[in-house]
Amino acid sequence: MLSHKGGVGKTSIAANIAVHLAKEGHNVCLLDTDFHGPSIITFFKKNSSTKWLNDYLLHDEPLDNCLEEISSQLETSGKLFVGFADPSASAIETNIRINEKMSFIMLKNLMKVGKHLEHPPYEVSYLILDSSPGTTYGTVNAMITTQTSLFIVKLSNADLLGTSQMITGLNKQLKSRSLILANLIPKSVIKDPAIISQIQSLIEEKFTQDIQDKYVDFIGWIPIDESLIQTEFLEAVKTLQNKDSSRLIYTLIQPDHPFSTTLVKLIPIIFGENVQ
């Protein structure tokens, strides 16, 4: 999961996809590789005994100590393992200052994860990485490690331009399967099929002109409505009030919400297979 900038809903999409797959009986691993601004921890509770993913990638901590199975929290039939990034100021500062040598160490360890997760007790079918916005060492490492890069965009001039430039720069060297998904589209705007078709054509034309790469496909968009905005706002207020708060997993608690139904339909496209 990649984006040109923050605030486009990338982490929410990653978390909701992971939980839906686990709910359907698949074993899934979700890694927070956004070391500049970790936020997976705002969706799930981490046990204090579980080590941070940073500890595995940079400090030789065994991977098993850095993954937490949270299936019991969600009551999913499949297993969901989460690797949390350290949100402390010191950890973020360390990652901001990462040099090429440290990045290579992180990449080497990250590339071992997939193979490790094939075996018990994990037997993971889906590995999802929530990466840092922008073009960082972490972004490149994520694209090298995974089979598909999903770029999340907002329909704003700055984000469209920045994302196309970002993909162009990365795809010259990295030829992973790349997809583009537009998020936070006003529900009222996309009610008219004619408008939907027109906007989709314009988006595809924009990225085709800028990127000129057959490996990049626009797969659709996810709507947002007033209820979703209000729910996120109220959870943020709880945090300000020092009350227990966690962001909602719509595919789990509101599977009929337009956000959930749209995202679930896109999952087979994202993974390039027929996910049941």
- The domain locations on the chain are 2-270
Read off the tokens for 93. 């500062």
- How many CB atoms neighbour CB 87 within 10 A? 18
- How many CB atoms neighbour CB 186 within 10 A? 12
Q: What pLDDT was estimated at residue 235?
A: 78
Q: What pLDDT was estimated at residue 247?
A: 84
2-270 folds as: Rossmann fold (3.40.50)
| Consecutive 10-residue averages of pLDDT for the chain (276 residues) | 90 97 98 94 94 95 97 94 96 89 94 96 97 88 90 76 78 74 79 74 69 71 81 80 83 93 95 68
Q: How distant is the alpha carbon of residue 223 from its chain centre? A: 17
Read off the tokens for 208. 């085709």
Determine the Cα–Cα distance for residues 89 and 102; give it in Å rounded to an integer: 19
Strands (E), 56-159: 68-69, 80-83, 126-131, 148-153
Q: What pLDDT was estimated at residue 190?
A: 67
Q: What pLDDT was estimated at residue 234?
A: 81
Q: What pLDDT was estimated at residue 71?
A: 93
| pTM of the predicted structure, to 2 decimals | 0.90
Q: What pLDDT was estimated at residue 214?
A: 54
Q: What pLDDT was estimated at residue 229?
A: 79
Q: Are 82 and 27 in contact (CB under 8 A)?
A: no
